[in-house]
């Protein structure tokens, strides 16, 4: 576990506990509506597409594309992440969009491309929390 992590640590709530339990196992899971077949994110009690409460958690591929990004050169005062870093919006292959950090790439505009394939990776910050981040997809 990295001793150097000093960032914010999520506090799982009943609605988000399955998400964080899966992330601890290095799995990305999202709520899935069995009534209309839609994945969605952020977790909530009813499907935002059809308002059904027939929900379950399903593992997703963890692959997607970079939808948009910004490079943070100067973060908020006392924010523990060292700048520069890439704050990104990723659209998963399954449809939902997640705001995340893009890691394992230089935070330079010429290194980033809208639409580039990305994949999830996890950073363990303690015994209970693994944080999902994304990185450029490894070439296969």
pLDDT above 90: percentage of residues in the chain: 81
Q: What is the DSSP string of 75-128?
A: --TT-SSPSSEEEEEEEETTS-EEEEEE-SS-S-GGG--TT-EEEEEEEE-SSS
**Can you tell me the mean pLDDT for 70-87?**
87
- If you average pLDDT over every residue of the chain, what do you get? 92
**Residue 71 confidence (pLDDT) above 50:** yes
pLDDT of res. 3: 57
Q: Model pTM?
A: 0.89
**Residue 61 confidence (pLDDT) above 50:** yes
Q: What is the DSSP string of 6-30?
A: -S------TTTHHHHHHHHTT--EE
Contact 18, 137 (CB under 8 A): no
What are the CA-CA distances from residue 21 to residues 4, 7, 8, 31, 69 (Å)?
22, 19, 17, 13, 27
Summarize pLDDT for 4-33 with one digit per residue, the tens.
677 788 999 999 999 999 999 999 999 999
In a domain, 6, yes or no: no
- Residue 69 structural domain: 17-136
In a domain, 4, yes or no: no
pLDDT of res. 68: 97
pLDDT of res. 40: 97
Q: Which residues, in sequence order, are bridge partners of residue 93?
A: none
**CATH number for position 26:** 2.40.50.840
In a domain, 11, yes or no: no
In a domain, 118, yes or no: yes
Distance CA 111, CA 72 (A): 15
């Amino acid at each position: 576990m990295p001793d150097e992590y000093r960032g914010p640590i999520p506090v799982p709530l009943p609605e988000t506990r399955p998400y964080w339990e899966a992330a601890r196992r290095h799995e990305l899971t999202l709520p899935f509506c069995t009534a209309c077949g839609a994945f969605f994110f952020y977790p909530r009690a009813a499907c935002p597409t059809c308002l059904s409460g027939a929900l379950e958690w399903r593992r997703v591929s963890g692959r997607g594309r970079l939808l948009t990004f910004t490079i943070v050169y100067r973060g908020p005062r006392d924010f523990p992440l060292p700048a520069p870093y890439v704050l990104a919006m990723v659209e998963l292959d399954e449809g939902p969009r997640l705001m995340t950090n893009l890691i394992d790439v230089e935070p330079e505009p010429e290194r980033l491309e809208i639409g580039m394939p990305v994949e999830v990776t996890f950073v363990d910050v303690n015994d209970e929390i693994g944080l999902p981040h994304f990185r450029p997809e490894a070439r296969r």
